[in-house]
Amino acid sequence: MEAASGTERGTTERVLTLLGLLQQRQVWTARELAERLGVTPRTVRRDVERLRTLGYPVHACHGVGGGYQLGRGQELPPLLLDDEEAIVTAVSLLGGAGAAVAGAGDVALRALAKLDRVLPTRLRHEVQALSGSVESFGGGHPPVDPDVLMTLARACRDEVEAGFDYPAGDRVRRRRVEPYRLVASDRRWYLLAFDLDRADWRSFRVDRMTEVAARTWRFRPRAAPEAAAYVQEGVANRVYPLRARFLVHASADTVRAQIPASAAVVRPCSSGRCEVRSGADHSLDFVLMHVLLLGHDFEILDPPELAHRARALAEKLLSAGVTAAPTHRIADS
């Protein structure tokens, strides 16, 4: 039984190696593969049949320039990376996740979390050294430490509690949370988590966190709100002391293309209209003027006093638009 188990394991390793070779190059001859694997061409043919049985489309072409070629299947097969490929891929994903460029940051982070699960310990130091030597400029968003992102991503994945220091007013407090999802906006990263001290869901800006650490205490996931919608509502509306709602006479898709997701929440309504929610710290005048400049008819839903403010601003605009009587210059005598 032990001999049979060893033979089976050896065959599995050889077939995986064969799959990796087929992913490296367009075409391999049976002799080339046999030399690489240390087997006979007949064994290569059997291993190719094993891959086909597993659903991998391995094509065989005869004649000059022919050989074995891995085709495109219906599903994405597992990619087999050597050490150098794994290091470069991880560093590239770290760069994409840390920058959160064009909405691809969350996808990069999901891929990085999968790679992190299987990345050998010997390669982690290489990844950290390379990622630490890469910088970027521009983007208009605060930089995020990739190690912090990975710590939080692992905590979300492994369902373990996390802790970090976070500013609250003029103080910094330690927060204990059950992390649920990392959410990337057009400018920064947020963590949606259940705050254990406040017994409620909260969103946190990752760039404001310090002393981030994952604990070993596991938790059972709770029923959670939809992560992206919850974070956007908090960033664009719920976080502000002053809030406003508008009914805009245009489709939600049209208005979303005009307003950044971090500035307002846009929800579709009937008859091709939409509701816009936004907020401000000190005055809703800016929000009101922003909605006006969208160029669509709209109604103020809330707060009622904003309608009075709209009339006052309209009178000022009308007054500013009155054309003054032309003045005539007296010619010099």
For the chain (333 residues), the mean pLDDT of every run of 10, in chain order, is 48 83 82 91 92 86 76 65 70 59 58 70 68 48 72 85 91 94 77 92 90 90 86 77 91 90 85 90 88 92 90 85 60 50
CB 177 within 8 A of CB 163: yes
What is the per-residue pLDDT for 331?
A: 55
How far apart CA 19 and CA 13 sit, in angstroms, is: 10
What is the per-residue pLDDT for 327?
A: 58
3-class SS string, the chain: CHHHHHHHHHHHHHHHHHHHHHHHCCCECHHHHHHHHCCCHHHHHHHHHHHHHCCCCEEEECCCCCEEEECCCCCCCCCCCCHHHHHHHHHHHHHHHHHCHHHCHHHHHHHHHHHHHHCCHHHHHHHHHHHHCCCCCCCCCCCCCHHHHHHHHHHHHHCEEEEEEEEECCEEEEEEEEEEEEEECCCCEEEEEEECCCCEEEEEEHHHCEEEEEEEEECCCCCCCCHHHHHHHHHHHHCCCEEEEEEECCCHHHHHCCCCCCCCEEEECHHHCEEEEEEECCCCHHHHHHHHCCCCCEEEEECCHHHHHHHHHHHHHHHHHCCCCCCCCCCCC
What is the per-residue pLDDT for 65?
A: 59
What is the per-residue pLDDT for 149?
A: 81
What is the per-residue pLDDT for 47?
A: 92
Q: Read off the amino acid at residue 1.
A: M
**Count of Cβ atoms closer than 10 Å to residue 72 Cβ:** 7
pTM confidence score:
0.54
**Count of Cβ atoms closer than 10 Å to residue 56 Cβ:** 20
What is the per-residue pLDDT for 103?
A: 47
Estimate the crossing angle of helix 146-158 against helix 105-118, to 10 degrees.
Answer: 70
How far apart CA 97 and CA 329 sit, in angstroms, is: 64
CB 8 within 8 A of CB 33: no
What is the per-residue pLDDT for 152?
A: 87
What is the per-residue pLDDT for 4?
A: 44
What integer best gives the mean pLDDT of the chain? 79
Length of the chain: 333
What is the per-residue pLDDT for 101?
A: 42
